[in-house]
Structure 1
């Protein structure tokens, strides 16, 4: 696909994902978020005593990490070998009465008393299997050492169907719920804190960075920090977006801004409620003025499009968050930025960075 195709598909995936967030929040549904196609990020890790490499989508909108496991009842095609628990001496299933099982949403008892899990996605995809523990490890890019996290709770998926892509073996849960990797091991890497620096999705070389327990705010200028809001479900990271500014015109939501937006690594585009978005769109139209005429039939799902090269002065668009003393300025090129979550302080921080160098 071309870069345009990838971006359009990512926008449609983001719409589905945003709609599934609403279902979870408003109806206390057992359905979880949808699975994005492009615009997502795969993270590398190892599983087991003899470390077996794996790749899974890094997802701050999910809690339970799961990968496909042998023997499969029904597994989708994946490019890397499917994990075989029999080759790991440290692998063991969790009994359904164990406290670790209770940390997993929608757990149940299997035929031999093992803890079972099931996750349904809004894209008519699902994963089912047993809840287990094993050593999850990472290759430290700074010194080449393997960092191990024994007894990590994860899902061993035996029945996985839907729109999962062969590039990944599953989902790596970085959400705020009790079964996520962050909640399990935050104390072990010093603090429940992690950050990621994401390259634009169209980059074909270079890799994004994911750091655990590292204070990447030190010696950095222009860091914006805003508190996270505790809401149901605990998986999601809620922020409070007070206003959007377009060339200095302040545009506020009609409702209370407290906890009104979710920050999510698996959603490519940012969404506002319709009434708020229309204010922003009108301000953008006014800022651009008559120097260029918007395309009459824009490319779906976008509402406001201009011919390439027809805009001479792009409007300055900034975001204002509660508790932040500076605004987050959005680049005209993209909105991929450095994010940092501090779950002990319950804050999120933003700062500019060169993801290829850091």
Structure 2
């Protein structure tokens, strides 16, 4: 009788231990799986409500700025854009990742083949055109705009959440904001120079308004952006057509030149069309040698986490007497 009770007790104990082990295993494995598969809705820069994974595992990024920001907070990708506009560290990190075409011309067939669970694109027509096919394939794409300093900060925080590394994102943001505040404090309450930011491409020249990335930084540094005053009611635009007559009338203290490409085509156009214009030679900025060409990798594209470096360069041109 005693042996029978002992056997029953042992049998019940084994069953209980087995059940406990099963529940413990289930309790440990299920939340991780459900967290990865959990989806939620976000609004992108195009105003679209998009359902995305909370922790995407196969991300494709279609532009250099977003790729640099995503890697800065510890994210990884399965597809990337064909571009040279990346910091060296990011170039090396993504060297083995398949390229899916240039930002304006992504390879849709290759993108679908990589089976992404999230695509990070830009709010431009060439990425809007991808939506119908991607919707049919069940692949979400976020169309984003990085138009100013605050967008960079907000995007870093968002990417940190996507990558599951909010602490790393907070550290990156803290470093940028500390440097930003130092530059602002050093240059505040100074006489505001009149500035024109010229965006040059092989086809045309435009003035950057405060709705552009560089224009936003110029405004934050306290300068007067002549592009905002010469936009003829187009203040919602990032760039407006350049008028040499308007520039001559306003007579800027500083001229900042951004070229659309790193080659010499824009430089030749600048020399022939702007520098050769009769009104150009009479400008105060020209006479005082205050025409500055801004670095391509920091200003032709969004500088991402290097935004503090871009601000430092701008501050040096706007306020050389207090530049670091």
- What TM-score do the two structures reach when normalised by structure 1? 0.29
> Which is strand-richer, 1 or 2?
1
If asked which structure has higher relative contact order (CA below 8 Å, sep 6+), I would say: 1
Higher alpha-carbon Rg: 2
> Which is helix-richer, 1 or 2?
2
- What TM-score do the two structures reach when normalised by structure 2? 0.31
